Amino acid sequence: MRAFVLIAAAAVGLAAAIVGAAVLPPRTVAPTWRTAAEPAPATTTAAPERDLRGPPTRVRIPRIGVDSSLAVLGLEASGALRPPDKYGQAGWYGGGPAPGDVGPAVLAGHVDSKSGPAVFYRLHELRAGDVVEVSRGADRVAFRVTSVTRYPKDKFPTAAVYGPTPGPELRLVTCGGTFDRGRGSYRDNIVVFAVTQPTVVIPESAAG
């Protein structure tokens, strides 16, 4: 099976079978395309302008043609994030913040499968300034991409992805880099960092 996206999450010392080991701080978060060795620019976020209700149900990324419902992702017994069951569907880590709430919300999706491209196949094409929208109830929360970074799986940026943030932020994660046929997985992860836009909530009735 081709590699799926996995992110380790939860308390401490979690290992991800495909992404690689990651050690996370208790409960729970940094960059245009560059390697992990380059410094990340500072970003600022603001709290939502209104209360949001309900879990996230859909993600839209116009630049790369993503319009997917969201599965709620939990953890495997090993502590690794359980990947979406469907290759064409993205998922939200339900043990962390919801998109639009203060903190880093994490969405994950497969990059491909034996049959072809999956939901986050084009994630690496995103650039700073691109928009990601997440639906919650009757509202959409709009995020602006600040960076897209590739990391080796054995150097997954746990603190940058899951660490606390001053306002609502978003992380999108998938696999990338070279496919290791011996291990049946990709060597790297692609991580997209995004912050809420100045007007962070778009009523569905107005968004169309």
50 — pLDDT class (breaks 50, 70, 90): low
Strand partners for 190: 150, 174
For tokens 């196949």, name the residue. Answer: 121
Asked if residue 6 has pLDDT above 80, the reply is no
- Reading phi first (left if > 0) and then psi (alpha if -120 to 50, else beta), residue 128 is in beta
* For range 130-145, the mean pLDDT: 95
44 — pLDDT class (breaks 50, 70, 90): very low
Task: Identify the pLDDT of residue 35.
Answer: 37
Task: Identify the pLDDT of residue 206.
Answer: 59
pTM of the complete model? 0.75
* For range 69-74, the mean pLDDT: 96
Asked if residue 3 has pLDDT above 80, the reply is no
- Return mean pLDDT, the chain: 78
| Main-chain dihedrals φ then ψ at residue 158, nearest 5 degrees | -55, -50
Domains of the chain from N-terminus onward: 14-207 (2.40.260.10)
Q: Where are the beta strands (DSSP E) in the chain?
A: 14-16, 20-22, 34-35, 56-61, 66-73, 90-93, 103-108, 112-113, 116-117, 131-136, 139-152, 168-180, 185-203
171: nearest Cα among 140, 143, 198: 143
